[in-house]
Structure 1
């Protein structure tokens, strides 16, 4: 068994007192002090995340758009320069290999960000689908650092060495950068790509930087942000933040055995607007299983939260299973996502969660559980 990989920021995490976990084959900080404190910092000020375990792929070549139109479930011709899109790479049977963010980061290039645990699966699928296209797939080794929270933009603006550059900015500034868009900036003598994206339900940015500069940028962000409430944050708080925001996690809400519509993501797959015959399209168009489980939110009272794998009951009948659950730090009551039968999926439906033999009342609710106010 091989040891988990480490990011260029590993020594910084050790110095900050982080506890670590193996995530997707990487040794990643799960928390630094208190995951609750880290969670609340992101909701009220900002959190600093190392997400360098994520997989990055560049796509170039004269037939890059035609390749992506076939390989992924989205229309790359509709993606303007600097814009990003949440999409998926599907198996031929319509199951989800991974959910992705694709950015047109240059006139002649796209950037794909995939989940750490699916790096090999995504690489293999993309390489297989390259056949017949004049396009190139380039695996990148840049580091990714995220600043998430209501003070994220202010922190970036005050970070020493992070400067605007008209030639890199793709027509944006930090003040004008839209959600799901990207711009280049200068950090020292190097270019970095800053995307207004995130996985917390808060405003924020994800920064792609050369691995050799990752430590310098981390230190600069921390120095600028600490007076504003920024704290380093680990995977535990990232998980409760994304759960409150109703964001799916691969291996929990998404898998090879789930099609996008089951997870409430049918809108992501442009069956009615995209003409390209992308991999998985014919399977999705032929799916007629009206009794397939669908993803819902569940809320309950008290302090006992449903966890992954717990059964969902309608009376004494098992009608589903929890995929993610926690006591919400922001809302103060238990929340969960679960796959349940369509017949009990309407918001307001009263169900039960089997929490270690105790039936806890729960009510179906629309996702997300939390939405930022601005």
Structure 2
């Protein structure tokens, strides 16, 4: 079982540990309301070391990635990042990711459980290019600050807060780190890529400057409120990016890449058969992921993620719904053991219409 270098420290301050993606991770620290409030009002600190990171080097790396990812990698300036996806030839998602351009390499930050798949897929497609792909997931940690006080915490550590989608080199607790502007909710957000040996020092420094530790359960609530799908829950190899509304991950002008023909055909000539939408439920029932969504007795979709939302005050879910049943306010029902859970569809993000 994999574990973060911080796990024992996290357990000592009250972390409840769960298993996710083959890793022992902190689900929470015993006070979910306080963790959520920290993210909304000050700053929450998440340990995302269980995410995957690939380092791509070699003089042909830019062109290689450009031909295998959905977004414009050739147009990516050094010090910037871009959201993208890797697809199969049918236009279905192998993974989504953020690609960061550094001076002499590209860093791919991927969801859990996708690093090896993408590494093997990319290596199999190298034909004459001078490209080397390394899996850095076992040697680099990943910390994430999410909340309005994030820039202040970085400032107290002598680090200027990078803009969204900007990545900079910095020093934290005497260690070299990469700091990236990375929103994981509808909040100011910053990721810190840290060598494993430096994780404890960096974690402690961030806590001492005012960050509050928070677990995976809190991040799950925040990202669902923001309408952000996670690979492995809302995204998988059955999903075409346009179904999930991932338009920011796609360049429609860059030219050829794996899966491009399908994406272009849907974009210019057709429409996805289903779309990712929100559902706001009327009572406190939480139908499990995978539950069928029905309207007028007919199955029109299924739930992929669900939480109780402090911002909305009710359970909210992400669900794929058939076209024709995606208009906001459409009445839906999900059958549960305790009776039907009734709700209405909503556009994403949920928090765009929420009153703080």
2:272 and 2:156 mapped to 1: Cα distance?
Answer: 53
Q: How does 1:203-352 map to 2 (within 5 A)?
A: 203-225=188-210, 230-271=211-252, 273-275=253-255, 277-286=256-265, 290=271, 292-352=273-333
Tell whether the 8 Å contact from 2:164 to 2:183 is kept in structure 1 after alignment.
Answer: no
Deviations along 1:116-156, one digit per CA (max 9) or x if unpaired, are 22122122112222332112212222111111111111112
SS in 1 for 2:154: helix
- Misfit runs of 4+, over 6 Å: none
- Per the TM alignment, residue 189 of structure 1 is displaced from its structure 2 partner at its CA by 4.3
- The gaps in structure 1 that reach 5 residues or longer are 165-172
TM-score, structure 2 normalization = 0.93
Tell whether the 8 Å contact from 1:73 to 1:87 is kept in structure 2 after alignment.
Answer: yes
1:188 and 1:45 mapped to 2: Cα distance?
Answer: 22
1:359 and 1:187 mapped to 2: Cα distance?
Answer: 52
- Per the TM alignment, residue 34 of structure 1 is displaced from its structure 2 partner at its CA by 2.2
Q: How does 1:177-188 map to 2 (within 5 A)?
A: 177-188=162-173
Tell whether the 8 Å contact from 1:23 to 1:117 is kept in structure 2 after alignment.
Answer: no
Aligned match for 2:151, one of 147, 150, 153: 153
- Per the TM alignment, residue 62 of structure 1 is displaced from its structure 2 partner at its CA by 1.1
1:190 and 1:43 mapped to 2: Cα distance?
Answer: 29
- The gaps in structure 2 that reach 5 residues or longer are none
- Per the TM alignment, residue 192 of structure 1 is displaced from its structure 2 partner at its CA by 0.8
Aligned Cα RMSD in Å? Answer: 2.0
Alignment of 1:73 with 2:70, yes or no, is: yes
Deviations along 1:144-188, one digit per CA (max 9) or x if unpaired, are 1111111111112223xxx45xxxxxxxx32xx321111111124
- Per the TM alignment, residue 87 of structure 1 is displaced from its structure 2 partner at its CA by 0.9
Q: Residue 6 of structure 2 aligns with which residue?
A: 9
1:37 and 1:48 mapped to 2: Cα distance?
Answer: 12
Q: Number of paired residues? A: 351
1:52 and 1:42 mapped to 2: Cα distance?
Answer: 19
